[in-house]
Structure 1
Amino acid sequence: MDNVSSNITYILNIEGLNIPPIAFYPVFIIAIISYCLIIFCNIVILLIIAIEKRLHEPMYLLLINLPVNDLIGGTVILPQLIHEILWDSRSISYPVCVTQAFFIHMYAGGTVLILTAMAYDRYVAICLPLRYNTIMTNTNVLKITILVWFIDLVLMAVLFYLLLRFPRCRSLISNTYCDNPSLLRLVCADTSLNNIYGLFITALLQISSVVPIAFTYLQILLTCLRNKRSDAKKKAIQTCATHLAVFIILEITGLFSILAYRFENASPFIRRMFGASTLIFPPAVNPIIYGLKTKEIKSKLKQFLGCKVSPL
């Protein structure tokens, strides 16, 4: 009985997508293409910034964090989904499940913090241009980068420390992937502290991103409206629009995921697809947005690929 109990709690079952037979091949092809797109596009952006010395500026040094984070987000879920679709396998070991959940939460928190840091960089560049080189030095950019990842790591380490202190009595993950809420459902104990802390870090990350980003872009908009130089105004608005588009995509996909799970009458397949899209769509779209809408990266991208990239 001890061996059976240990096996039940060590090997977990994931509900999975429950793909209808008619949708098997389209979903499999979409998953493969999405993962290849995420890997290729994000690595290309990283290589362009790393190789081109002219892009070794604060804006692009901060931008490096976004494709790194997107590679984490895409890699932590898509290979598992592709394996599930191809082999119809819904079992996963508990350590692997916890590892996947940890990096999924790291990805989500990291995206919010990175976009906030990038918004601050644009605020200083446009609203305080004479002080930009003094404030956004390479040393300060490194400090900001370390701070972003340190805050993200500490918040998620505490979250999973609170989770791992409990024994488990269930083995079904009621989701397409492992995350903190689905792992908490395996616990037969009082998880009030975990729920409170989970809500706390969610509210903290949202407030610490939405409020600063709204403030900085409002200031940027006012500065652009007062700027009489049309070329400078156009460049500033285009750069900020790129950052803002990435943030809005993140918020919309997150909102869709939350709403999809609130409608119990909705198709389970549709609800799970929405949940997975929150982790798949932004990493695939972010490098395309930056590659096509950032002039310097677009120029180097043409040289890198040896072909013309059409604007959006």
Structure 2
Amino acid sequence: MVAAVVGVSAVSVLVGARTLPVAAALDPDHPLRAIVDARIERTLLGLAVGAALGLAGACMQGLTRNPLADPGILGINAGAAFAMVVAISVLGISDVTGYVWFAFLGAAVAAVVVHLVASLGREGATPVKLAIAGAAVTAAVTSWTSGVLLIDRSTMETFRLWQVGTVGGRDLDVLLLGLPFLAVGALLALSGARVLNALALGDDLARSLGRRTVLDRVVIGVAIVLLAGTATALAGPIAFVGLMAPHAVRAMVGGSYALVLPLSAVTGAVVVVLADTLGRIVLPPAEVQVGIMTAIVGVPVFLVLIRRGGTASL
């Protein structure tokens, strides 16, 4: 997996609408060095976003015991989109470093609301109730977003590129802005391998093993919000990465979260960078955004998982 990360990163820097020689990456005074620098920044952002989405997806599938769970199931993408639209339309914020904070806040609020709604009743936030509450909140928030965009055309133009998911047109300042949140989320998630292994046995058995399931769920939930919320705020809603990466890892190493979590992060990073690179070369000189490329691959994978009984745990 480390070799895969290095390989796709090198390809991402050298390959695009214009293929660059290796000398351009090695020589700081090369005439094409500016293109290399821009692609390096793009690649670093893709690695960070992909790792965050892969890790968040693995945590979400373990937390909800739903093999088809994706960061969008908690309304994270919808919440980030709505908060960003409000920031642009009402507050007039059009710079990435400005609205990224609102997108992150919207993602966090949406995830909390979903969990609160799912917690109503005797059984608490069960996997089924989390999925239903997430779908309901996502539908409601998406309709509000559409309403704002319909009455504000200028906001729609700013929102359009972010909405499809892209790692292009960002610089290192944007990545550095979200890096502290990603680091904290990754630490919480990676330290929760034992928690997720216990929760996979069911809440009753986990409690009998001494786990405080409510606290455990809160900690893992915070990790998911930090990872998926920040990734969505930085690059937009990139779908299916959090779904595909954990399943690919489980096919290789089994179900232990001590292995699934770190390898899901690496796999997610590879998927996003590879998808971004392919998006630059399939229709030159135009560019297909990474969110579209992951969806092209993700939809067939999603259908295959359903056909194989991926919803059985619900």
TM-score normalised according to structure 2 size:
0.32
Structure of higher CA gyration radius: 1
Alignment TM-score, normalising by the size of structure 1: 0.32
